[in-house]
Every structure is written in structure tokens, then in C-alpha cells.
């Protein structure tokens, strides 16, 4: 009796285990459908608050159950679920530039980096090695040394060899850190079973199953997440430097027509057109002007405008047509013609007044604001790369542009205007002090924001910084883009800060993720990507399931036809075998891929082969005249060595494939190894138990292995 219970347990336990292990997969598919419905409702909602409320309702009703089912379900691979293959490269050249002392960077160093970047694009050699060679070829003949560009901090160890060693360590550390940070971002984003691995000296390969929003993933991966808090320096000194840049570029153009073509014409090819500054025409015609800044318009009359511009008594535009006046203004102001400048005084009314650069002096008090059309942005950035232009900017000052948000329907037609700022180059505080971040809806503006919390050290520094700069603006800069530049009204204690300017919940969620995961030491860029559509994944699933069912059906028919009732036992054993494979895959948190399905189909053949070996040995013993029980005992015993030999050698092959292979090959190897272990269990233990149970019911005469009646 005990023996019979044990045999029943061998059959029933795998079935029960399969039900428990695979139920989360079924439940996850049901909850995923509900989540899709909630997402559709959220997208149809009228505003951000309603959208957030709908998703919070799903989180409240199903959040915990959904997360648990997702974590315990059998995941589908990229080839079945759809998703992205991405190859990323760490920008070591940019890391070298950032490691160098800013004040030491000159044209020679720029030429070395340009040559390094050009060669690195077609070579697998270490970027630092390429940089060292190019430095010797370009900079050494000019008497330059690495010591003059890089500061190790330890004067006693300041040799070129030590600098190169340190640069190599920095590059290797940046690549390893990039891999880990990207892994954290992907995990927080919720990609199931991503495959992330290094390739060569500076590349990272990613397989991201189930990814549907490609633009979000690109933003998530390429964002460096360098958060900085910088003082705004949009003052009269900056405006005066713009005037000097105008004079320098205009002088170059007048002296050399070729230079003019290079400076103005060629760079214009970057965009379709250069949108002139809104105030230019107004100044030329001396008419009322409507200025716009952050969607707040203010109209100023000529008298107010004259307080700002204090123009020369002689009007060079008098008597000219509008087009001729614009052309003359553009030739005199090749730099400032591309953007609008506004001034706001320190008075309470704070009216914005347009600024013309046809003046001798600028108000020293108050703040200056700058706006540029997106079509002119590329050309302005090219101009700012010119070393002569950069040298005319105030010391320790840089320009940074507003983060470009998702365009409205109107902006998709007319284009966006973006603010830009003069900032102190060195940050007052960095994102290293951020310990937590979370998205929310600002109740005052009904727009998405990300709230940040700082550690104790950051809180103290933030209180000190805000206390010392009351009345000034501090820009919150992420990856070189300004998200907001609020005025400091009072000292801020407690270490709280906020980033605004997000267009929607998705953008806020991405920012929350990258801030939590941490910043990258070096920028990364996507150099190759391939998208597998969901429809292709559905086709793969359909093909895989159909091939498995077809193979399973053929095996069932063959085994019953050839081995009679013993064949039916083998078929039941085979079905339990498949259930055990999926149970183990789900329990291990594995991923089912198309090669994995191929491994399962191969396992079906091996499982049947094991049963055939046993049944043929039993038939041989029956042909020798043994009784059915004796033939079964002898048949199982004699078949063991052949079964173990074939399965163990195949298992070893799968083990090698798993450790030396990548991606899809590992998926095939894993299911193959699981299938072999499952086959040994079901073919030997389960099949024997099923046969023994039938014999114990006294059905010896009716049980057949397909042998002829007279054998």
C-alpha cells in the first residue's frame, strides 16, 4: 500500500507543482490586460491629475498582486515578446575632455581629441592608447605635455606614464560603472529579464524584451543624469560680451568674404532657416513690441524701450526698407541676431523690455533673459564652439539651454522658443547628495514635477547656498540642460528641491528613475539598435507553439501505434515532462525564448528516445520467454546505461554552451539542460510508476508493449 502511495505521489506532485508555479504566469497575463485598459483610460484623461488618479486606482486595487505575479511569472524573451537590441558605447573621448583642466584646454588639445575620436570610430583599440599616440603626433611637436593638461593632485607622481595609467583606470571604471547604472535604470523601469553585458573595451550590449516605447528607452539609456545646481549669471557683463562677439564676427566678415561665408553661410546649413530675434525689427522701425517669455507676454511702448536701449542719436536704418534694415542689422550683429534679449528691472512691476545691441551701455541692475527659436539653436551652438567666441565670454561663465519639452500641437507647426542662461561654470552643488526622488503633480500649476531629497551633508550645503544667494536665481541643470531657474526667496532648510518643466507623467517617471539610479561618470551613446515588433513576436510564439504541438502530436500517435498501452504511458510521461520543464523555468525566474522552445522540442525527442530504449529492452526480454514483471525489471535495468550515457554527454554540451554562449544561445542551452534532467526523472521514475500502478490493478494480460501476440 505504501509503495502504491509513493508511486501516485511521483505522478501527482509534479502536476500540483506545475499548477502552483505557472498560476502567476496566467494571473500576470490577466492583470496585464487590466493594466492596459487603465493605461488607455489614463491617456484619454483630460489632465495630469486625472491621469494620475486613474493609475493610482489600478495601483490600489491590483498593485501588489500585479507586482507579485510579474516577479513570479515565466517571462518571454525578446524574440517572442518583441523589444529592442541595443549596442551602446561609452564616450571615453568626452571623459578625457572632462578630466582635463578646463583652463588648460586649447586648440591643440581639441585637435588631439578630434583625431582620437575619428580613429576610435573604426578601431577596437583602447581609446586612451589612441589618445596617447595622437598626443605624441600632434601636441608633442608643439612642446606640449600631458602634465600641462591633467592634474593628478600629487605633484611628486606627476609623470606622463602615471597620467596615462590614471586615465586608463578612469576609462575602465567609467565603463564598469555605466554597465551597473544602466542595469539599475533598466530594472527600475521594469524591463523583465534584460540581458546586459560588456563587449570589447568600451561597448555594452543590451537585450530588452517587451519594450514598446523606443524614444523613452533611448532617453533612459543615454541620459548621463549629471545633476548640478548653478548660479545664474545673466547680467550686464554677459550682454556686453555678446556685443563684443558681434563686433568680432562682423569684423571678420568685413575683412574676409571667405570668412564671412564660413561664419554665416555654412553654419546656416545646419538648419532650414535662422529665425531672427523678435526685437530686431521692432528696434529698426521704432514700433511697439510684444515680447514673450515663458508664455507671459508684455507690451512696451517706445518711451519705456528707450530707457533700456539708449540708442545712438544717428539712426543707421533711417530711410531703409524693412528687408534692407534687417540685412544691415544681421551683418552688424551676426551673433545676437539669432536670439531675443529682454531686460527686467528690480522694480516690483517687473515689466520685460526688449534689448537692442545698437547701444553703448546696458543697465547694470536687474536681470537679462534670452530666448531662441529651435531652428536657430544648432547654428548658435556651432558658433559657441569657436575658441575665439568662447574667449570673449566672462570668466567662469557658460551658456546653457532650456531642456526641450514635448511640443504642443501649435509648436509642432511654428516651432518652440527656448530660454537660455548664463551660468557660473562651477556648480554650487551636484546630484551626488540626492538620496531619493519622486514624481508628483504640482497642485498650483497642475504640471508634473520631480521632488528630490538630499542627505545631511547636502541639506547643510543647500541651506548655506540658498541663504547666501537670496534674491538671485539658481539653475537646476541636468546633463547640461536647464530644467528650471527659480529665484531664491529665502534660505531653504531640510534638503528639499524640485525639478519642474516635465511635459507629462512619462517624462517625470524617466527623470525619477535616472536620479534614483545615479549619474554616469561618462556619457554613453547608442551606436546601433534593432527593434523586434510585437507582431513578429506573436508570429514567433505562434510558430513555436504550433511546432511543439505538431511534434507532440506526432510522438503521441507514433508511440500509441507502435507500443500500444506502453506507448500511452510514455505519452503521459512526456506531458508531465513538459510541465516539469516549465515549472523549473518559472521557479528559476527564467526566460522562454524561441531557441528555448527549440530546446524543448529537442527534449521531447530525447524523452521519447529514453522510453523507446526501455520498451525495446522489455520486448527483448519478453521474446526470451520472461514474465511481464520480470521483463519490465530487466528491461529498465539494461536500458539505464545507454540512457545515462546519452543524456549526460548532451547535458555537458548544454553546460558548455551556457557558459561560453550569449543571449539566445544561453536560452537554448538552459532549456536543454532542464529538459535532460526532467527527461531522466519522467522516463525512469514516472513511466515506471505508471506501469507499476497498472500492473498492481491486475491488468497484466491486457498491458502490452506492442509485441506480437505469439511472441
Question: Do 317 and 257 share a structural domain?
Answer: yes
For residue 640, count CB atoms less than 10 angstroms from its CB and return exposed for 0-12, middle for 13-18, buried for 19 or more.
middle
Please list, in sequence order, all residues whose beta carbon lies within 8 angstroms of the beta carbon of residue 259, skipping any fewer than 6 positions away: 252, 253
Q: pLDDT exceeding 90 applies to what percent of the chain?
A: 12
Asked whether residue 418 falls in the same domain as residue 336, the answer is yes
Task: Give the residue numbers spanning the domain of 389.
Answer: 230-427
- pLDDT over threshold 70, residue 352: yes
| Structural domain contains residue 373 | yes
For residue 499, the SS3 value is strand
pLDDT tier at 267, thresholds 50, 70, 90: very low
Q: Kindly state whether residues 121 and 43 are assigned to the same domain.
A: no
Report the pLDDT averaged over residues 300-316. Answer: 47
pLDDT over 60 (residue 529): yes
pLDDT recorded at residue 310: 45
Residues 11, 158 share a domain: no
| Region 302-312 average pLDDT | 43
Burial of 263 (0-12, 13-18, 19+ CB in 10 A): buried
- Predicted local confidence at residue 433, as pLDDT: 84
pLDDT at 47: 61
Does 413 lie in the same domain as 305? yes
| Per-residue model confidence (pLDDT) at position 232 | 93
DSSP category for residue 122: T
pLDDT class of 287 with cuts at 50, 70, 90:
very low
Q: Which of 104, 94, 95 minimizes the C-alpha distance to 150?
A: 104
- Within a domain: residue 589? yes
Residue 55 reports pLDDT greater than 90: no
pLDDT category at 269 given cuts 50, 70, 90 is very low
Is residue 168 in some structural domain?
yes
- CA dihedral sign of residues 292, 298, 303, 304: negative
pLDDT of residue 260: 42
The answer to whether position 477 is within a domain reads no
**117 and 205 share a domain?**
yes
Task: Please list, in sequence order, all residues whose beta carbon lies within 8 angstroms of the beta carbon of residue 64, skipping any fewer than 6 positions away.
Answer: none
Asked if 214 and 265 sit in the same domain, the reply is: no
Burial grade of 161 (CB within 10 A; 0-12, 13-18, 19 or more): exposed
At residue 194, the 3 state secondary structure works out as coil
Confidence band of 239 (pLDDT split at 50, 70, 90): very high
pLDDT of residue 51: 72
- Residue 134 is predicted with a pLDDT of 92
Do the Cβ atoms of 378 and 484 come closer than 8 Å?
A: no
In degrees and rounded to multiples of 5, residue 290 shows phi and psi of: -105, 120
**pTM higher than 0.85 for the full model?**
no
Residues 357 and 335: beta-carbon distance below 8 Å:
no
Q: How many alpha carbons fall within 13 Å on the CB side of residue 626?
A: 15
103 pLDDT band (50/70/90 cuts)? Answer: confident
* Residues 212, 272 share a domain: no
Quick check: is 347 in a domain?
Answer: yes
Most confident of the following: 113-117, 149-153, 321-325, 497-501: 113-117
Per-residue pLDDT tens over the stretch 418-436: 899 999 988 998 888 888 8
506 within domain boundaries: no
Question: Is 681 inside any structural domain?
Answer: yes
Which grid cell is 154? Answer: 600629487
668 vs 297 pLDDT, higher one: 668
Among 73, 104, 121, where does a domain finish?
Answer: 73
Same domain, 198 and 325: no
Could you tell me if 577 and 603 lie in one domain? yes
529 by Cβ neighbours in 10 Å (0-12 / 13-18 / 19+) ranks as middle
pLDDT given at position 193: 67
Q: With bands split at pLDDT 50, 70 and 90, how would you rate the model's confidence at 46? A: low
pLDDT score recorded for residue 314 = 62
Is the domain of 126 the same as that of 218? yes
Is the residue at 503 inside a domain? Answer: no
Per-residue pLDDT of 198-232, as tens digits, reads 887 788 888 888 777 777 788 788 777 778 899 99
Same domain? 205 vs 324? no
For 364-377, what is each residue's pLDDT tens digit?
A: 888 899 999 888 88
State residue 407's pLDDT score: 56
Tell me the C-alpha to C-alpha distance, in Å, between residue 458 and each of 49, 270, 432, 453.
31, 41, 8, 9
Domains of the chain: total: 4
Lowest-confidence pick of 130-144, 278-292, 322-336: 278-292
pLDDT tens string 600-648: 888 888 888 888 899 889 888 888 888 888 888 888 888 888 889 888 9
Amino acid at each position: 500500500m505504501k509503495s502504491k502511495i509513493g508511486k501516485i505521489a511521483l505522478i501527482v506532485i509534479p502536476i500540483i507543482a506545475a499548477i502552483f508555479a505557472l498560476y502567476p504566469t496566467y494571473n500576470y497575463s490577466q492583470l496585464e490586460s487590466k493594466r492596459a485598459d487603465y493605461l488607455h483610460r489614463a491617456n484619454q484623461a483630460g489632465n495630469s491629475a486625472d491621469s494620475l488618479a486613474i493609475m493610482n486606482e489600478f495601483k490600489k486595487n491590483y498593485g501588489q498582486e500585479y507586482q507579485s505575479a510579474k516577479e513570479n511569472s515565466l517571462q518571454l524573451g525578446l524574440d517572442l515578446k518583441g523589444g529592442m537590441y541595443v549596442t551602446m558605447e561609452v564616450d571615453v573621448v568626452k571623459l578625457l575632455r572632462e578630466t582635463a583642466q578646463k583652463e588648460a584646454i586649447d586648440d591643440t588639445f581639441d585637435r588631439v581629441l578630434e583625431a582620437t575620436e575619428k580613429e576610435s570610430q573604426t578601431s577596437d583599440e583602447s581609446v586612451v592608447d589612441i589618445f596617447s599616440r595622437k598626443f605624441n603626433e600632434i601636441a608633442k611637436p608643439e612642446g606640449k605635455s600631458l602634465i600641462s593638461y591633467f592634474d593628478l593632485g600629487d605633484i611628486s607622481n606627476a609623470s606622463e606614464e602615471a597620467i596615462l595609467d590614471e586615465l586608463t583606470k578612469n576609462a575602465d571604471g567609467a565603463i564598469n560603472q555605466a554597465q551597473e547604472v544602466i542595469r539599475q535604470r533598466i530594472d527600475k523601469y521594469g524591463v523583465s529579464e534584460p540581458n546586459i553585458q560588456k563587449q570589447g573595451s568600451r561597448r555594452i550590449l543590451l537585450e530588452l524584451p517587451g519594450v514598446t516605447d523606443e524614444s523613452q528607452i533611448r532617453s533612459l539609456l543615454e541620459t548621463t543624469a549629471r545633476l548640478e545646481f548653478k548660479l545664474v549669471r545673466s547680467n550686464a557683463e554677459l550682454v556686453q560680451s555678446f556685443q563684443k562677439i558681434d563686433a568680432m564676427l562682423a569684423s571678420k566678415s568685413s575683412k574676409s568674404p571667405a570668412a564671412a561665408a564660413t561664419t554665416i553661410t555654412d553654419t546656416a546649413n545646419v538648419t532650414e532657416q535662422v529665425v531672427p530675434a523678435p526685437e530686431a525689427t521692432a528696434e529698426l522701425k521704432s514700433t511697439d513690441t510684444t515680447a514673450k517669455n515663458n508664455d507671459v507676454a508684455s507690451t512696451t511702448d517706445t518711451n519705456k524701450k528707450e530707457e533700456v536701449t539708449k540708442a545712438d542719436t544717428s539712426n543707421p536704418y533711417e530711410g531703409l526698407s524693412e528687408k534692407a534694415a534687417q540685412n544691415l542689422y544681421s551683418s552688424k550683429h551676426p551673433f545676437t541676431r539669432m536670439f531675443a534679449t529682454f531686460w527686467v528691472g528690480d522694480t516690483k512691476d517687473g515689466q520685460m523690455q526688449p534689448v537692442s545691441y545698437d547701444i553703448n551701455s546696458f543697465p547694470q541692475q536687474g536681470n537679462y533673459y534670452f530666448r531662441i527659436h529651435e531652428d536657430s539653436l544648432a547654428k548658435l551652438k556651432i558658433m559657441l564652439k569657436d575658441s575665439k567666441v568662447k574667449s570673449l565670454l566672462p570668466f567662469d561663465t557658460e551658456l546653457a539651454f532650456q531642456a526641450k519639452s514635448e511640443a504642443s500641437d501649435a509648436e509642432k507647426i511654428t516651432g518652440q522658443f527656448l530660454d537660455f542662461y548664463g551660468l557660473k561654470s562651477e556648480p554650487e552643488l551636484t546630484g551626488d547628495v540626492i538620496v531619493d526622488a519622486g514624481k508628483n503633480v504640482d497642485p498650483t500649476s497642475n504640471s508634473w514635477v520631480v521632488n528630490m531629497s538630499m542627505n545631511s551633508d547636502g541639506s547643510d550645503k543647500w541651506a548655506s547656498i540658498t541663504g547666501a544667494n537670496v534674491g538671485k536665481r539658481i539653475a537646476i541643470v541636468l546633463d547640461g540642460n536647464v530644467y528650471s531657474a527659480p529665484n531664491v526667496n529665502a534660505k531653504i532648510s531640510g534638503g528639499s528641491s524640485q525639478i519642474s518643466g516635465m511635459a507629462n507623467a512619462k517624462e517625470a517617471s524617466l527623470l525619477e528613475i535616472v536620479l534614483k539610479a545615479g549619474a554616469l561618470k561618462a556619457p554613453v551613446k547608442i551606436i546601433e539598435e534593432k527593434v523586434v515588433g510585437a507582431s513578429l513576436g506573436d508570429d514567433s510564439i505562434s510558430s513555436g507553439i504550433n511546432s511543439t504541438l505538431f511534434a507532440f502530436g506526432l510522438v503521441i500517435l507514433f508511440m500509441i501505434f507502435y507500443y500500444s498501452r506502453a506507448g500511452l504511458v510514455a505519452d503521459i510521461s512526456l506531458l508531465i515532462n513538459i510541465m516539469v520543464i516549465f515549472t523549473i523555468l518559472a521557479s528559476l525566474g527564467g526566460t522562454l525564448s524561441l531557441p528555448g522552445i527549440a530546446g524543448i522540442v529537442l527534449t521531447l525527442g530525447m524523452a521519447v528516445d529514453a522510453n523507446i530504449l526501455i520498451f525495446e529492452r522489455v520486448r527483448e526480454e519478453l521474446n526470451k520467454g520472461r514474465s511481464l514483471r520480470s521483463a519490465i525489471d530487466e528491461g529498465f535495468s539494461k536500458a539505464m546505461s545507454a540512457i545515462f550515457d546519452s543524456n549526460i554527454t548532451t547535458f555537458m554540451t548544454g553546460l558548455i554552451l551556457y557558459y561560453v554562449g550569449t543571449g539566445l544561445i544561453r536560452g537554448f542551452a538552459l532549456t536543454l539542460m532542464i529538459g535532460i534532467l526532467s527527461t531522466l526523472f519522467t522516463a525512469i521514475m514516472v513511466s515506471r510508476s505508471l506501469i507499476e500502478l497498472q500492473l498492481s490493478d491486475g491488468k497484466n494480460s491486457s498491458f502490452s508493449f506492442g509485441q506480437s501476440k505469439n511472441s
